[in-house]
Amino acid sequence: MVDLLLQPGKVGLSDWRRVARSAAGEPNLRLDPVARPGVEAAVALVAQIVAENRVAYGINTGFGKLAQTAIPTKKLAELQRNLVLSHAVGTGPLLADDAVRLILALKAASLARGHSGVRWLVIERLLDFANRGILPCIPAQGSVGASGDLAPLAHMTAALIGVGEVRVNGRLMPASQALAAAGLEPLELAPKEGLALLNGTQVSAALAMLGLFAAEDTFAAALVAGMLSLEAAKGSDAPFDPRIHVLRGQPGQSDTAALYRSLLQGSRIRESHLDCSRVQDPYSLRCQPQVMGAVLDLLRQAAAMLAREANAVTDNPLLFADSGEVISGGNFHAEPVAFAADILALALAETGAIAERRIALLTDPVLSGLPAFLVAEPGLNSGFMIAHVTAAALASENKQLAHPASVDSLPTSANQEDHVSMATHGARRLLAMAQNTSTIIGIELLAAAQGIEFHRPLHSSAPLEAVHGLIRAAVPAYERDRFFAPDIAAAGHLVRAGAFNRWSSELVPSMQDGYSQ
């Protein structure tokens, strides 16, 4: 079994992608033991505060609006347990296994930074759950993104103490039963531990990171789909001339234009219409570097924000063992995650929107020069007519979902928590948007592959012919009308599985080792 060593504060996005995309137990997650002395120093500070009967928020006080209430030492364990149980108020569908596994790993790495006052045993138990596939049942709804993801993290923590349900190999069972089967004892939380486990942005960050990874896979597929569509429509590669993009100065634009040039190099289809009479292509072909380059810049910005958040300490209060201080702050506020999720939503919506326009172009014989709806006998056959309608429906749905979540706020906890980020549902909607966009791109890939075949015996470039072959290995050519939904599902699956990532992996942040800006 391959191990992945988590170095708290230094884990790269490519490693987080591995955690999210791997099956239970692969890779086996381990904490860097170098972090242990810092963890134990913070635990010792908590013990000192309790022994000296010093008042410190969350250690021997109530929570939120009840912070002024002192709690007797003999009731501190009960305080932490009550916190977990009272905060486990989530609702809605359960988060998927990949999200829960990533949440467990993110929480462990954050606590291991040594500023939370949580025992090494507790942190390791989080990784025990992840490695053994004991995945707490975490309802998707109930967090406003500050003070941390309290409700969903309470459900995670409840499983550690043997309360609630978990999922093991897809089967629901009581947490107590799963612990017993694994030979693990339910934890009894020490002072500060319940609060540290519940406080933090790990749920919203995990969902946003899953949205990022899905957006990157969709982006990679959209790049090759756009070039395949260009070839099918016999579009020009002149708009990808590097001199144009140097004058603009936008890095994503220049980088995507360079990739487009490499994808088109050696195309016989392009050579066949170098002297055609068309002056300019429609925007959906001509402006691909400008649109997809801007998308790339947003992906990079979101990736940098989420890479920092994944390595951050986001609970409250924070312990500084070197000075003996406990400082209350607001690192639990998920505004950075909310903003990252909102810009990812824009990126996904625009990726799907421009792809839908290319599908419309390809199916229109006036614009494309191809048979109507990309079928040899239009009229008798409807071809891609309604596949385009599906793409339009999904693009429209994405427009509605793209409305920013971060501009909303509702005060909670008797107005103590009076401004919140709404990051959690802002991040959660990314998965639906990515599903929509990947389906749009899947439809475009099928349409463009069909269009390319009307130009035979001419061939495109080697990379684009490889893309065409990948599509055709999954979906045969559309010669006459047939039950079309399975074809679209298969093409969308290729996108979501990252089948087209190889052609643009150097552009995609989480595919670059150590990306942790």
Active site residues: 57
Higher pLDDT, 505 or 299: 299
Retrieve residue 494's tokens: 């290729």
Strand intervals (E) in 169-228? 171-174
Residue 321 and residue 334: Cα distance in Å, rounded? 25
Decide: helix, strand or coil at residue 68. Answer: coil
Give the 3-state secondary structure percentages of the chain, helix then strand then coil, rounded to 5: 60, 5, 35
What would the two tokens of residue 441 be? 């791109």
Please give the residue that has the higher pLDDT: either 138 or 77.
138
Q: Label the pairing between strands 135-136 and 165-168.
A: antiparallel
Torsion angle, alpha carbons of 460, 461, 465, 466, to 10 = -170
Helix (H) or strand (E) holding 225: helix 202-232
Mean pLDDT, rounded, of the chain:
93
Does the structure show a pLDDT above 90 at 145? no
Both tokens of 75, joined, read 């009731």
Residue 517 has a pLDDT of: 47
Q: Which residue has the higher pLDDT, 251 or 515?
A: 251
Q: Nearest to residue 228, comparing CAs of 392, 471, 496, 491?
A: 471
C-alpha 228/C-alpha 173 separation (Å) is 48
Q: Which residue has the higher pLDDT, 271 or 363?
A: 363
| 4-18 tens-digit pLDDT | 999 999 999 999 999
407 Cβ neighbours under 8 A, 6+ residues apart: none
Using DSSP, state whether 426 is helix, strand or coil. helix
Least confident piece of the model among 72-81, 226-235, 290-299, 505-514 = 505-514
The pLDDT assigned to 57 comes to: 84
> For the chain, how many residues are written?
517
Give Cα separations from 197 to 245, 278, 317 (angstroms): 48, 62, 12
To the nearest 10°, report the CA torsion of 388, 390, 394, 400: 100
- pLDDT at residue 72 in the model: 86
Q: Which strand (E) or helix (H) includes residue 38?
A: helix 36-51
Q: Do residues 398 and 49 lie in contact, with contact meaning Cβ atoms separated by under 8 Å?
A: no
Classify strands 3-6 and 28-31 as parallel, antiparallel or unpaired.
parallel
Q: What does the pLDDT read at residue 176?
A: 98
Summarize the confidence of residues 126-153 as an average pLDDT: 94
* pTM recorded for the entire structure: 0.95
The whole-number pLDDT of residue 24 equals 56
Report, as an integer, the average pLDDT of 457-477: 97
Task: For CA atoms 40, 42, 48, 53, give the dihedral sign.
Answer: negative
Confidence tier at 279 by pLDDT (50, 70, 90): low
Q: Do 422 and 406 form a contact (C-beta atoms < 8 A)?
A: yes
- Residues 58-87 have a mean pLDDT of 84
With a pLDDT cut of 70, the percent of the chain lying above it is 96
| Phi/psi of residue 140, nearest 5 degrees | -75, -25
Give me the long-range contacts of 324-329 (CB less than 8 A, separation at least 24): 324/45, 324/48, 326/45, 326/49, 326/56, 326/57, 326/59, 328/57
Q: How confident is the model at residue 514 (pLDDT cuts 50, 70, 90)?
A: low
What is the enclosing helix (H) or strand (E) of 300?
Answer: helix 288-310
Over residues 390-429, the pLDDT tens digits come to 999 999 999 999 999 888 877 776 666 767 788 899 999 9
Other beta carbons less than 10 A from residue 430's beta carbon: 28
Return the H-helix or E-strand segment holding 141.
strand 139-141
**What's the pLDDT score for residue 68?**
74
Q: How far apart are CA 211 and CA 509, in angstroms?
A: 13
Q: For the chain, give the percent of residues with pLDDT over 90.
A: 83
Least confident piece of the model among 40-54, 276-290, 446-460: 276-290
Q: How far apart are CA 307 and CA 304, in angstroms?
A: 5
**pLDDT computed for residue 358 by the predictor:** 98
Helix intervals (H) in 52-188: 76-87, 97-111, 120-132, 150-160, 175-181
- Confidence at residue 271, expressed as pLDDT on a 0 to 100 scale: 86
Average of pLDDT values for 455-465? 96
Q: Measured between alpha carbons, how far is 79 from 447 in angstroms, rounded to an integer?
A: 60
CB of 19 closer than 8 Å to CB of 4: yes
If we measure between CA atoms, which residue out of 120, 157, 130 comes closest to residue 32?
120
The least confident of 56-60, 159-163, 208-212 is 56-60
464-475 average pLDDT score? 98
